Each structure stands twice: as C-alpha cells, then as structure tokens.
Amino acid sequence: MYELNPSPDYEHRAVAASVEFTDYLRELSRDRRRNPQDDLISRLAMVVDEGERLSEDELIGTCVLLLNAGHEATVNATGNGWWALFRNPDQLERLRGDHSLVPRAVEELLRYDTPLQMFERWVLEDVEIHGRRIPRGSELGLLFGSANHDPEVFAEPSRLDVGRDPNPHVTFGAGIHFCLGAPLARVELETSFRTLLENIPDMELVEEPQWKPGYIIRGLQELLVRSR
C-alpha cells in the first residue's frame, strides 16, 4: 500500500498475505477471549468501554496497526538516523562525546528525516485554511517531512543539531491522531542508539545506502557499517 507503482504480482501477494495474517489474528483473538493469557491481545479482548467491547474486526485492526506501524517506523527511524549522523560527522562526534544528548538527538533525528513523510486525512467538515476553502469530503496529503523543516518553527531547519531544544516536530502526528506507540518508539530508539554508541564507538559507514521505493514511508534498503 505504500509502494510506488507496485506490479500486479506484488499486489496479489500482498493481498494474500493480508488475508492470511487476518485469519491468523481472528483465530488467535477468539482463543484469547475464551482463554485469556498475560498478553496484549488478551487485554484488548477484555477491554470494556461504557459496556461495549472491541468488535473482532476492531481488535484485529488494532493488532495489525500496533505490529506493522511499530516495526516499520522504528526500523526506518533507526536507519535514517544513523545515515543522517554519518552525513554530519561533527554531530556524530558531538554525540559520541556526550551520551546525555541521546534523548534530544533522537527527537532531532526524527525531525530531520522522518520515516513517515506524508499521511492522508479526509476532511469531515467544511474548513478554510489561509484563505483557501476546503470542502467536506476532501482528501488531504499532510506533509510531515515538510512541516518538520518549516523555517518559521525551526531555526536553520536544514541543519542537524543533536542538541536542538525545543523541538516541536510532528513526526508522531498531533491531536487525536497522535501516534499510540510514541512512548515505546522513544524508548526503543534511545536504547538502541545509546547501546551502539557505548558498544561500537568507532562504527563507520561502509558504503552509501539506497532508498526503498516507497513514497510515503521513507527508509533505507540497508545500512552497511563496520567497526574500525
């Protein structure tokens, strides 16, 4: 769904995989309703809000969202982040010399090259933005990558600054659509960057990476590194 001009064969395989995964989760969710265990699916199956539980389709959709969004976004944020650091060696050396900057560095790397460049939203009511009328039912493409480089919000937005503060980026969205996994993503990224900085302080790039063909999710095919 996030590839540019996928082939018919690719589309058919993707649909088949989606159906198989949905069937797997449907059976698993039914089993967890009958025999709850100490896991997330069991807890979701037991959620009650004003007397109503999640429907089976809602439960499956939530599980797919948490698994796919969490994995894909964190992987790409990690690769994009290290590639940005290798392209800005002064900031990499600054981070190597002061690990206390890791939390701010993670926020800056998420801003500098966000793994989700664009997301679509549908307008629920007529609205006017900067003098332009947008009717109900319109589909909008929200450019998170562009917003994160807005010169009215960020000083020198094209410059990577691992100590940038404040850093009001919109990589995780905003409002009711704010990313459910943002706290976990921050913990994962801070842990992985700190661990690599501590255990492989001399890590260096082997060759310039290639980007994946997706036009919404931005990530690398691979990032080859080595210890000097």
pLDDT tens, 125-154?
A: 999 999 999 999 999 989 999 999 999 999
**pLDDT tens digits, one per residue of 51-105:** 788 889 999 998 888 887 778 889 999 999 999 999 999 999 999 999 999 999 9
Please check whether residue 118 lies inside any domain of the structure: yes
Number of domains in the chain: 1
Beta carbons within 8 Å of 187's beta carbon, 6+ residues apart: none
Q: Are 29 and 56 in contact (CB under 8 A)?
A: yes
| The predicted structure's pLDDT at residue 192 | 97
Please check whether residue 65 lies inside any domain of the structure: yes
Mean pLDDT of the chain: 92
| The predicted structure's pLDDT at residue 68 | 76
| The predicted structure's pLDDT at residue 110 | 98
Q: Is 27 exposed, middle or buried (0-12, 13-18, 19+ CB in 10 A)?
A: exposed
List alpha helices for the chain, DSSP H: 8-34, 40-46, 56-87, 89-97, 102-112, 144-147, 182-199
What is the β-pairing status of strands 132-134 and 225-227? unpaired
Please check whether residue 64 lies inside any domain of the structure: yes
Instruction: Return the closest-CA partner of residue 165 out of 117, 96, 103, 88.
Output: 103
Query: How sure is the predictor about 1, in pLDDT bands with cuts at 50, 70 and 90?
Result: low
| The predicted structure's pLDDT at residue 80 | 97
For the cut 70, the answer to whether the pLDDT of residue 49 exceeds it is: no
Can you give the residue range of the structural domain that contains 99? 55-227
Instruction: Return the closest-CA partner of residue 206 out of 117, 104, 102, 82.
Output: 82
Please check whether residue 37 lies inside any domain of the structure: no
Share of the chain above pLDDT 90, in %: 71
Whichever domain contains 101, its CATH number is 1.10.630.10
DSSP helix/strand/coil, 154: coil
Compute the average pLDDT of residues 7-20. Answer: 94
Please check whether residue 19 lies inside any domain of the structure: no
For the cut 80, the answer to whether the pLDDT of residue 122 exceeds it is: yes
Please check whether residue 66 lies inside any domain of the structure: yes
For the cut 90, the answer to whether the pLDDT of residue 216 exceeds it is: no
For the cut 70, the answer to whether the pLDDT of residue 48 exceeds it is: no
Task: Tell me the Ramachandran region of residue 51: left when phi exceeds 0, alpha when psi lies from -120 to 50, beta otherwise.
Answer: left
| The predicted structure's pLDDT at residue 176 | 86
| The predicted structure's pLDDT at residue 132 | 94
